[in-house]
Chain A
């Protein structure tokens, strides 16, 4: 937490993927004030959304925040720590099922189910990460893929607990014992998700900017050098993995309460894959970029998808291909162009990019 006040780590969002401060100390304070303005505006607009958006778009925005939170947790792993996981949905699924079970058998009253979901996600990551984080490259990909597949298979097989392929129905969000009034349910659910999202995003933001977060970036960029500096990369990566699992579980818990149905696909590879797609679309390593990437994915898949006569997946694929060509660093790349049009710095996480500049 102390790192937030430290001038040398006061990195503006768009260059968040770098471990080195971009601007001299003299301008950094003004920058920090200016930099705080856009998030504040966005937050105010988001808070008032139910007053001017109709129910369907509000519902979609709720889903964007839920899946966006999940994408940020994956970014903590992929963009910040450099661990490209193919099975991150496992922890989302663990959280979703935990929230469903808690809401069903104990209390659907917020925030108990999501807190239990976050705890369950973290515990699952403690158990599996210990093995996964020791591996590198393709082995890490394969191990995380296996973890994801095993989790969704377990959800399918343990049908006495999980309902198998029919999934589990979840009671709607409520505070206390009474459900929300039907007329305002969508708006209240949205605000609830927004509050959890903001708190969790701020927490991940602070983690990413803390000395611990800087060490993670260091490990991502050059693990050998970090080791020679006296760091123990395994310990750092393991903690990052557990944190990411916990936040993924939190997002899963929110999902269960919003979607009100949890099924094995919610822990499956498809979710991990579209979330990686959101990271690529938005710009990995920036934390906020993946939320925008996820917004595109959710809007194409859930808002327009059902009306496209079955061409939803195709459109999503086309968007992806275009994005890779036009926005090689995602939406975060656009913001980078806006901010520093002349002295663009190539700190992309794509290795080939640096040499090309």
Chain B
């Protein structure tokens, strides 16, 4: 566990070369002392089929609804089958890498979770989930930004970071969140260092406004990353991230966490869940995505090791998919889905939420898994219990009518 001293030893020497170092060096050392909590939000864009991700093999309605894409129920000793969780639910076999995290109680599932809004539009539903205001599109900011705003102010360039080309809706708001495509390329990319020095000097002038302030923060961040670019931040404990956009994003989030640069909220997303055609069962399109997803989460957890006590990963998707398979061996847009909570002080090894059932009369609008846990109930619990964020104004207009899930110790 790094102390202030070890941090200075490991990262500080690279920084003294830069004149502007002391301010953030002090800040960073403080952050390292306090070593705050980190929330990592993962968005599965395109609506993941929660019924395949966490399969309800104990529900008699499951298999019959999906003649060609239902998973075989788990069976002891058969590794190519779904991984039983509690006698009723099972992980998709492509998520077998998550089994050990389930077994050691660091991973929980919240099933039949979703939005009270009935839209089946990806983009509307994503918008609602990111703003945290189902049915209200004019909300200017995102719920993660609001969560960050309620935390004691710790101005740091890497306080809230999204890995990707643009700042996602959920981090919009006046919190100085930054988006980074690649931390290796988060720098001025001139042929030599002179352009970088020039830009830095230009933004370092005495003017105090948003532009110059952000410019100074940017170069602090750039330098912070340059110094953090040490080999000690290579994946630890033999963690092996899958290649690809999501693996890269999570690997870099782990690097930012281990660099102790004040990260509190991170965001990554993964595309490709919109399986209308040829979804597959144990193998196929969805299995392919889930394998990447599960292996990445497992690598992330392994990489961070003990540090996972301070880190909580929350996965989400805008809605689930139809219970019945469609005419193209796929599934159409549905309603509730499953979400995962990993790390922190989570009481894992359990599936949370009331199971609404797959009987015809139990389905939402006669076709979809009903929502029994409003996503805001889950998000608020994670924000409050993991980050310590006050939740009074986190989700405007929302008063949870269900008791807390009791996800955390």
Is A bound to B?
no
Interface residues of B, Cβ cutoff 8 Å to A:
none
